[in-house]
């Protein structure tokens, strides 16, 4: 038992895949360190092949570490006790097609250490929550992808876990279902559960997560609260009446990087107070201001900037 308060702690984790004869090596993760605090929704982002699924699989005991250490709920991941209060919904899962939804909960709940009566008592409300109660006695092979995701989510919550790992939880789910899953995650957060979310849907991560980590080519390049990643620099669009060429030149000289097109000025400031100066400049030149629209840099934009930029790990 590791004496720390983090729900998940990863220290200098490296994972190298070797070919059968050891001739080829793939560095899936290199010196990754991160903490996930109890009660937070933590998002893991990265392009395909960044090492996201490798990290989740290591934390859940499916892959072995090459070097470094990792703890889940204070227990080393080498100890099966680390997985006692953990729920997991894997990506591209293949639930046993010969089982019904209820039988699947009985089997995986039993493997998680629950008694039959506990499973039966919890399964009803959980299946109700994910809107699968009508199909509890239908074989999984007849389920759609979205139904399997919902069942998988119920399975992940069955043992009342402290930490839930979700790998692409809204994959194959319709927009209403996505909203419902997001609501469930919000509810889990209220209950003090820790959620580790692995998703390529940046908008989803942006709307749900408290903090995110961005992985690229096996390296952690950024971790921090979502709002710090999103609002990198204040950006505005200012719609005006007719702007002459002389004023346009003056604006560009005063604010390098500003773009003026069709009487719309797009500009990124170093701090949000600098907009006053631009407004003063327009007023001094008798230019009517029609609208000032603050622009939010989405997580997707921030993510793209980071991936293109590469670089060392940065805590924001």
Partner 1 sequence: MNKFNAILLDSLLEIRSRKIIYIYAAVTLFLILLFAFIPSMQIQGEDLFESEFMSSELFSKILAHFFDGFIGFFIFLLVFGTAFLLPSYLGKGRIELTLSKPISRWKLLTMKFVAVYLIHMFILILMSLLLWLTISFRLGQFSWGILPGIMFSFVHFLFIYLFVFVIGALTRSGALAIMGYFIIRFAANLLESREVAYQFIGESVWTSILDWMYYIFPKFGEVGGNFMSLMRGDGFVNFFSIYTTLIFCAVIYALTLYIFSRRDY
Cβ at position 139, least distance to partner 1 in Å = 9
User: Binding of partner 1 at residue 225 (CB under 8 A)?
Assistant: no
* List 80, 191, 262, 315, residue binding partner 1 (CB under 8 A): 80
Site stretch for partner 1 (CB under 8 A), options 88-96, 129-137, 169-177, 188-196:
88-96
The side-by-side arrangement of strands in the sheet containing 67-72 is 25-36, 8-18, 67-72, 75-76
User: Binding of partner 1 at residue 20 (CB under 8 A)?
Assistant: no
Among residues 153, 155, 225, 160, the alpha carbon closest in space to that of 192 is found at 160
Helix (H, G, I), strand (E, B) or coil at 45: strand
User: Binding of partner 1 at residue 106 (CB under 8 A)?
Assistant: yes
Secondary structure letter of residue 100 according to DSSP: B
* List 43, 46, 51, 90, residue binding partner 1 (CB under 8 A): 90
Site stretch for partner 1 (CB under 8 A), options 38-46, 111-119, 266-274, 279-287:
111-119
User: Binding of partner 1 at residue 113 (CB under 8 A)?
Assistant: yes
The Cα–Cα gap between 209 and 227 comes to: 10
Q: Give the DSSP per-residue string, 75-99.
A: EETTSGGGGTTEEEE-TT----TTS
Tokens found for residue 65: 């570490």
The Cα–Cα gap between 49 and 24 comes to: 17
User: Binding of partner 1 at residue 81 (CB under 8 A)?
Assistant: yes
User: Binding of partner 1 at residue 202 (CB under 8 A)?
Assistant: no
- One character per residue 162-191, x = contact with partner 1 (rule: CB under 8 A): ---x--------------------------
Cβ atoms of 182 and 208 closer than 8 Å: yes
Among positions 146-165, residues that touch partner 1 (CB under 8 A) are 155, 165
Tokens found for residue 118: 């506990």
Among residues 6, 1, 73, the alpha carbon closest in space to that of 33 is found at 6
User: Binding of partner 1 at residue 92 (CB under 8 A)?
Assistant: yes
User: Binding of partner 1 at residue 116 (CB under 8 A)?
Assistant: yes
Site stretch for partner 1 (CB under 8 A), options 86-94, 210-218, 288-296, 301-309:
86-94
Helix (H, G, I), strand (E, B) or coil at 186: helix
Which of residues 164 and 208 has its CB atom nearest to partner 1 in the complex?
Answer: 164
Express the helix, strand and coil content of the chain in percent, nearest 5 each. Answer: 35, 30, 35
Cβ at position 30, least distance to partner 1 in Å = 17
Cβ atoms of 148 and 93 closer than 8 Å: yes
User: Binding of partner 1 at residue 96 (CB under 8 A)?
Assistant: yes
Bridge pairing between strands 194-198 and 163-167: parallel
User: Binding of partner 1 at residue 16 (CB under 8 A)?
Assistant: no
| Interaction site with partner 1 (CB under 8 A) | 17, 57, 60-64, 80-84, 86, 88, 90, 92-99, 103, 106-116, 119, 155, 165
């Amino acid at each position: 038992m590791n004496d720390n308060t983090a729900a998940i702690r990863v220290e200098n984790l490296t994972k190298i895949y070797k070919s059968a004869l050891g001739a080829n090596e793939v560095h899936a993760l290199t010196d990754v360190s991160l903490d996930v605090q109890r009660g937070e929704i933590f998002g893991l982002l990265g392009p395909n092949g960044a090492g996201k699924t490798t990290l989740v699989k290591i934390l859940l005991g499916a892959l072995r570490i090459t070097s470094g250490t990792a703890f889940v709920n204070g227990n080393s991941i080498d100890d099966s006790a680390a997985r006692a209060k953990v729920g997991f919904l894997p990506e591209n899962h293949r639930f046993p097609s010969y089982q019904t939804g209820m039988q699947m909960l009985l089997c995986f709940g039993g493997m998680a250490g629950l008694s039959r009566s506990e499973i039966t008592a919890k399964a009803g409300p959980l299946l109700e929550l994910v809107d699968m109660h009508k199909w509890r006695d239908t074989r999984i092979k007849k389920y759609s992808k979205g139904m399997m995701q919902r069942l998988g989510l119920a399975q992940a919550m069955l043992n009342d876990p402290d930490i839930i790992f979700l790998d692409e939880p809204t994959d194959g789910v319709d927009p209403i279902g996505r909203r419902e899953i997001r609501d469930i995650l919000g509810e889990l957060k209220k209950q003090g559960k820790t959620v580790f979310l692995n998703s390529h849907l940046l908008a989803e991560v942006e709307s749900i997560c408290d903090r995110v980590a961005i992985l690229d080519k096996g390296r952690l390049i950024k971790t921090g609260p979502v709002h710090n990643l999103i609002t990198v620099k204040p950006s505005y669009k200012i719609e005006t009446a007719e702007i002459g060429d002389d004023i346009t030149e003056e604006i560009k000289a005063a604010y390098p990087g500003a773009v003026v097109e069709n009487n719309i000025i797009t500009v990124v400031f170093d701090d949000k107070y600098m907009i006053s100066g631009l407004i003063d400049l327009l007023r001094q030149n008798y230019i009517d201001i029609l609208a000032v629209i603050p622009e939010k840099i989405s997580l997707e934009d921030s993510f793209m900037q980071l991936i293109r930029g590469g670089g060392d790990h940065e805590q924001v």
